[in-house]
């Protein structure tokens, strides 16, 4: 039936329909195959660039962590034989937290719990950072409650020697 219809067309009509069919096939191929592939490739290239940026950020952070860890571990040897308990007590007192220091007690072989009442938060944060930087001591737990006054807190800190 289609063959009879095709044969019934004039040569010029057959040529126009054949060219139209080829153009339609090319447009369908572009719309259904080529264009989606090109779009997906562009999306993947953007995703790859974003992941490369994230990797660079993570590598920079890892290098900084390694540098800080190395500094902390090296500084850990500069404790002059002080135990973690004595170090926590001495550094808290010298760091301006002596009046707020209420309790320093061992919580394990390499762990100490320290309690503060009415401590200045900025001094407390500086003390924790200085312990990590200078002695390789990590704050593994920190609980802070607001006390009376601006920037005044009650805090409980668990310190641990870095492995």
Mean pLDDT of all residues belonging to the chain? 87
Q: Calculate mean pLDDT across residues 92-119.
A: 91
Query: Which long-range contacts does 49-52 make (Cβ < 8 Å, 24+ apart)?
Result: none
Residue 6: predicted pLDDT: 82
Look up the pTM and report it. Answer: 0.53
DSSP secondary structure string for all residues of 119-150: EEHHHHHHHHHHHHHHH-EEEEEEEEEE-SST
pLDDT of residue 82: 78
At 80 the pLDDT is 63
Q: Burial letters for 115-137: b for 16+ Cβ neighbours within 10 Å, e otherwise?
A: bbeebbbebbeebbeebbebbbb
Helix (H) or strand (E) run with residue 111 in it: strand 111-120
pLDDT of residue 71: 62
Instruction: Please give the Cα distance from 126 to 106 (Å, whole number).
Output: 22
CA separation for the pair 124, 33 (Å, rounded): 62
Average pLDDT over residues 24-29: 90
pLDDT of residue 110: 86
Q: Rounded mean pLDDT of 94-115?
A: 90
- Residue 133 is predicted with a pLDDT of 83
pLDDT of residue 58: 92
Can you tell me the mean pLDDT for 58-74?
Answer: 76
Please state, in angstroms and rounded to a whole number, the distance separating the CA atoms of residues 104 and 136. Answer: 18
């Amino acid at each position: 039936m289609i063959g009879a219809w095709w044969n019934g067309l004039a040569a010029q009509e057959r040529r126009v329909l054949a060219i139209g069919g080829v153009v339609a096939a090319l447009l369908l191929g572009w719309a259904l195959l080529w264009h989606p592939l090109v779009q997906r490739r562009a999306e993947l290239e953007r995703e790859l660039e974003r992941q490369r940026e994230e990797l660079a950020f993570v590598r920079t952070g890892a290098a900084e962590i390694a540098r800080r860890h190395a500094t902390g571990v090296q500084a850990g040897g500069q404790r002059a034989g002080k135990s973690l308990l004595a170090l926590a007590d001495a550094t808290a007192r010298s760091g301006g937290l002596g009046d707020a220091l209420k309790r320093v007690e061992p919580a394990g072989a390499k762990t100490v719990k320290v309690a503060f009442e009415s401590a200045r938060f900025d001094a407390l944060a500086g003390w924790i950072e200085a312990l990590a930087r200078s002695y390789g001591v990590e704050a593994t737990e920190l609980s802070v409650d607001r006390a009376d006054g601006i920037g005044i807190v009650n805090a409980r800190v668990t310190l641990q020697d870095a492995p």
